[in-house]
Structure 1
Amino acid sequence: MPTRPLKAPPLAALPGIQHGFYTRVGGVSTGIYKGLNCGPGSNDDPTAVEVNRARVAVSLGVAEENLLSLYQVHSATAVSVAAPFAPDARPQADGMATATRGLALGILTADCAPVLFADPKARVIGAAHAGWRGAVSGIVEATLAQMESLGANRDDIQAAVGPAISQRNYEVGDDVRTQVLDHDADNAEFFIPSTRDNHWRFDLEGYVLHRLRAAGVHAPCGLAECTYADDTRFFSYRRTTHKGEKDYGRQISAIRLA
């Protein structure tokens, strides 16, 4: 079965840019990792993960070793890349940018928000992993800064937020809400009360889109696809936790200069 990545219309319309928000469809992993698990940090069979990533690379038209992903740590650290790096030399970061053709920037998620960026005029692309911690601490802005260091113009950058856990399924405690509101009290608009006392439902996608707009990105796009609600298409850390499963797969979102 072929891979079936989702596309963000604003990015798909850009000349010379190729991207995809890949789902579970089209992979060889089995069991709890069934499908296109692209996460080397999972306990899946490493050979299956390699095959899955190779399929994504073929879909994007890049060499397998040129499909890059980071050692993601929920930080606000972004890096610029100009050449492939070995899997055991992945930078500890949550955003990256490049102006190098032939490299595909990949972000691994299983509820957090993947963000893909492109400046079609300057020919610079970026990708970021935005969980609530990274989003609050500034991963969107850090990735934009790395793109600008490579010649991008913020007024020309377009961005899209891929599949992530929806507000309906993302319950958090007072501790998370307090940290988000400590950054900006107006962030209260991204929370609604949950059915449990001292718990809230957080709109992660809406918050990331807000950070993009506040950073000067015009009309960022959100796919409004919930990873938790659709176990046939998406891996979900929270769903795995609720089911008591021992591990989970990761879907990949990637972008490259064509």
Structure 2
Amino acid sequence: MLLSSDLLSGIPGLRHAFFTREGGVSNGIYAGLNGGLGSSDAPAHVLENRRRMAEHMGVAPDRFLSLHQTHSPDVVTATGPWDGEVRPKADAVVTRTEGLAIGITTADCGPVLFIDPVRRVIGAAHAGWKGALTGVLESTLQAMEELGAERAQIIAAIGPMIRQPSYEVGAEFVERFLDADAEHAMFFLPSPRERHAMFDLAGFIRMRLEKAGVLMIDDLGADTYADERFFSYRRSVHRKEPDYGRHVHAIALEG
């Protein structure tokens, strides 16, 4: 039903989960544990799946929080359940409130969970290529510091995402990264197709974290495209499916 980080698992009073698609009630192309409120899955199935995830995290469903993600560098701070049914538009969330599970949704993009185990501040970031390039990881770290975290103490866990052997991109994509920094060339390998390359999103995320001063990083290494335990936007496109399921990856301080 889930994957966990060895680094995070040893921290007292912390719960976290990188949920797979196993253990849910959805069917068809959403089969399993689809937590995507923005998907076209039956709403009752999505709510039941999220209830099961909340139960695993040890919180009530209204305290199992996710965002309306826009591939931005924007971060919000959570102090309790969202006010009303509208989720904040952002791609990362931080908190120091106990008994509150904060999460992000993915279906190929990179989920990153954070904790300062001394100051007891946590964060969750949705790092697709655009968010990673425009600073969502750095924004998350800054927001955690504003809650009292110390950057040198922060631990980050990188979860399941599309990996380099599965992530072919076009020339314009490569140019965008090289325009930002010529050293980004190290994250691309040649593709069998002309004017295409294979992109290492996980490596790029790790580099950004290291440059930002995060000293302890755990990467689970799972490939959402190649591994059928996971939903994958790109796989759904290649199969010409009309939609796709979403994972929720969450972290919580036990109350």
State the TM-score, normalized to the length of structure 1.
0.97
Offset from partner CA, 1:18-38 (integer Å, 9 cap, x none): 101000000000000000000
* CA distance in structure 1 between the aligned counterparts of 2:84 and 2:55, rounded to whole angstroms: 18
Report the Cα offset of residue 88 of structure 1: 3.3
* CA distance in structure 1 between the aligned counterparts of 2:179 and 2:118, rounded to whole angstroms: 37
The 5-angstrom pairing of residues 122-201 of structure 1 reads 122-201=119-198
Offset from partner CA, 1:196-236 (integer Å, 9 cap, x none): 111010001111011111110013111110000012x1000
* CA distance in structure 2 between the aligned counterparts of 1:207 and 1:171, rounded to whole angstroms: 15
* CA distance in structure 1 between the aligned counterparts of 2:197 and 2:19, rounded to whole angstroms: 29
Report the Cα offset of residue 5 of structure 1: 1.2
What is aligned with 1:256? 252
State the TM-score, normalized to the length of structure 2.
0.98
- 1:235 and 2:203 equivalent? no
Tell me which of 13, 17, 20 is aligned to 1:16.
13
* CA distance in structure 2 between the aligned counterparts of 1:20 and 1:87, rounded to whole angstroms: 25
Report the Cα offset of residue 17 of structure 1: 1.2
The 5-angstrom pairing of residues 21-40 of structure 1 reads 21-40=18-37
Report the Cα offset of residue 87 of structure 1: 6.7
* CA distance in structure 1 between the aligned counterparts of 2:178 and 2:13, rounded to whole angstroms: 39
Report the Cα offset of residue 96 of structure 1: 0.8
2:219 is aligned with what amino acid?
G
Report the Cα offset of residue 166 of structure 1: 0.8
What is aligned with 2:241? 245
Identity %, equivalent residues: 53
* CA distance in structure 1 between the aligned counterparts of 2:218 and 2:51, rounded to whole angstroms: 28
Report the Cα offset of residue 181 of structure 1: 1.7
What is aligned with 1:77? 74
Secondary structure at 1:188's aligned position in 2? helix
Secondary structure at 2:216's aligned position in 1? coil
1:222 is aligned with what amino acid?
D
Alignment CA distance shift 1:108-1:243 (3 Å): same
What is aligned with 1:45? 42
Q: Which runs of 5+ in 2 are unaligned?
A: none
Secondary structure at 2:248's aligned position in 1? strand
1:183 is aligned with what amino acid?
A
Secondary structure at 2:55's aligned position in 1? helix
Contact kept in structure 2, 1:117 and 1:126, CA below 8 Å: yes
- 1:224 and 2:221 equivalent? yes
Give the length in aligned residue pairs: 254
1:96 is aligned with what amino acid?
V
| Root-mean-square deviation over aligned CA pairs | 0.9
Report the Cα offset of residue 176 of structure 1: 1.2
Contact kept in structure 2, 1:95 and 1:126, CA below 8 Å: yes
What is aligned with 1:7? 4
Tell me which of 204, 209, 216 is aligned to 1:207.
204
Q: Structure 1 runs of 4+ off > 4 angstroms?
A: none
1:41 is aligned with what amino acid?
G
